[in-house]
């Protein structure tokens, strides 16, 4: 098992160093590494985990990574998967908080290249997942309707509604169809552990504000604030950033200028945007503040995954749930397709040169089968070249 844990840590760290482009792109990197390359789980099991994590508050890509780590190596594997994927950006943002101010990351050519490569990564993921999850007209129709709906209702609530409606449609369409049994996920966590995780999740959510009042200090206030934000935010990192701003700037914990400087830096580093908490914690209370803020922000995600997974095999083996998941997985493809346009395309492709670089990156990934980290590096260099060309 020790060898497996080392492998999980090394692979997730590689992803943490190279996964630029935000949560949607992360799912593409994960699929390429865990499903296609290493075959730790099959396409359908991966899609089911993505669907599950879309329902949970918190960073969906981090939760998918934790889930895969648990499937591969139990609770320790889940922690190592999260640690490897998250720590590179945590370290980068802590260093940024200490040594840099007023950094305008969005103007750098290499940052533009990293945004552009996200277009290719997401397009590759949609192409691969679409072949497996939308093989017939009904599911293609669900995916298209989901994509159009997500474009016009791009909120977290809209996304949840789309998934629920698609699940209902999948149930009615496929409830009488003979569906091949889903591959059983190797989940070593028992249901007692899952129930304990549920109790801890809700217990902390209820008790932390009380503890904050009884033992007032910056540390209890920080832990309560970041835990609460991590527990209730749907829609990923782009939603969590303005939510955190409303919590920390008006209280005087951090200035608007320092907050905005970190906002740019958080989008310039690989890994989950939730690591913005590390920057804020370091800016407020040094290294210890960064550790407290990071732990509090990600703890709800870990507890929710541990709470859900012991019951997931039982649920997904039921024919009614499998039928609903066929609709849900098709909707996930549609939601990813909508995300390919907004925010990935709209924030990245601004010129003919940008589109050309995205096209080259897509060809290198899909047809030349180059490793994603190499394509990311090439795109960063391409972004620098585009900046000089003008």
Which of 131, 127, 149 lies closest to 139, judged by CA?
A: 131
Q: What is the structure's pLDDT at 155?
A: 72
Residue range 67-80, pLDDT digits in tens: 999 999 999 999 99
Q: 64-102 burial by CB neighbour count: b if 16+ within 10 A, else e?
A: bbbbbbbbbbbebbbbbbbbbbbbbbbbbbbebbeeeee
* Residue pLDDT, tens place only, 90-119: 999 998 888 654 454 445 677 788 778 878
> Tens digit of pLDDT per residue, the chain (390 long)?
889 999 999 999 999 998 887 777 899 899 999 999 999 998 888 998 998 887 788 888 899 999 999 999 999 999 999 999 999 999 999 988 886 544 544 456 777 887 788 788 888 888 888 888 899 999 999 999 999 998 998 776 787 789 899 999 999 999 888 777 767 788 889 999 999 999 999 999 999 999 999 999 999 999 999 999 888 776 555 556 666 777 888 888 888 777 766 766 776 788 888 898 999 999 899 899 999 999 999 999 999 999 999 998 888 878 888 899 899 889 988 988 988 888 779 878 989 999 999 999 999 988 998 877 788 889 889 988 998 886
Tokens found for residue 230 = 């991590």
State residue 106's pLDDT score. Answer: 47
Distances from the Cα of 177 to the Cα of 123, 143, 214, 326, angstroms? 30, 19, 57, 11
What pLDDT does 9 receive?
Answer: 97
Q: How far apart are CA 361 and CA 144, in angstroms?
A: 25
Q: Give the list of residues 6+ apart from residue 52 with CB closer than 8 angstroms, or none.
A: 67, 308, 312
pLDDT tens-digit map of 179-194: 777 677 888 899 999 9
Q: Taking Cα atoms as reference points, which of 37, 40, 65, 39 lies closest to residue 50?
A: 65
**Residue 184 dihedral angles phi and psi, to the nearest 5°:** -70, 125
Q: What is the pLDDT of residue 13?
A: 96
For residue 259, the model assigns a pLDDT of: 78
């Amino acid at each position: 098992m020790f060898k497996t844990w080392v492998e999980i840590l090394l692979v997730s760290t590689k992803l943490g160093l190279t996964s630029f482009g935000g949560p949607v792109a992360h799912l593409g990197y994960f699929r390429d590494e865990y499903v296609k390359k290493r075959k730790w789980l099959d396409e359908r099991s991966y899609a089911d985990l993505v669907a599950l994590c879309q329902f949970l508050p918190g960073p969906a890509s981090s939760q998918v990574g934790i889930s895969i780590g648990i499937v591969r190596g139990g609770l320790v594997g889940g922690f190592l998967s999260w640690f490897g994927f998250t720590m590179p950006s945590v370290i980068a943002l802590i260093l940024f908080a200490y040594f840099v101010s007023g950094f305008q990351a969005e103007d750098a050519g290499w940052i533009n290249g990293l945004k552009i490569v996200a277009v290719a990564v997401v397009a590759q993921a949609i192409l691969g997942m679409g072949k497996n999850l939308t093989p017939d007209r009904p599911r293609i129709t669900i995916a298209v309707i989901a994509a159009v709906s997500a474009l016009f209702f791009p909120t977290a609530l809209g996304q949840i509604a789309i998934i629920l409606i698609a699940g209902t449609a999948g149930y009615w369409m496929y409830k009488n169809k003979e569906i091949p049994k889903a591959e059983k996920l190797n989940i070593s966590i028992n249901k007692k552990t899952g129930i304990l995780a549920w109790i801890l999740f809700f217990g902390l959510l209820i008790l932390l504000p009380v503890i904050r009042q009884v033992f007032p200090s910056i540390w209890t206030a920080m832990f309560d604030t970041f835990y609460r934000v991590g527990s209730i935010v749907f829609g990923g990192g782009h939603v969590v950033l303005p939510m955190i701003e409303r919590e920390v700037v008006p209280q005087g914990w951090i200035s608007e200028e320092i907050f905005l400087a970190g906002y740019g830096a958080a989008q310039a580093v690989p890994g989950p945007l939730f690591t913005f908490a590390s920057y804020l914690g370091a800016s407020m209370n040094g290294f210890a503040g960064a550790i407290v803020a990071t732990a509090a922000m990600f703890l709800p995600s870990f507890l929710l995954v541990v709470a859900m997974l012991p019951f997931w095999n039982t649920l997904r083996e039921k024919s009614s749930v499998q039928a609903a998941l066929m609709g849900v997985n098709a909707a996930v493809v549609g939601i990813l397709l909508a995300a390919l346009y907004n925010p990935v395309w709209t924030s990245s492709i601004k010129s003919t040169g940008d589109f050309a670089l995205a096209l080259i990156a897509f060809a290198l990934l899909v047809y030349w089968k180059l490793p994603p980290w190499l394509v990311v590096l090439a795109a960063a260099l391409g972004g620098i070249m585009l900046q000089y060309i003008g």
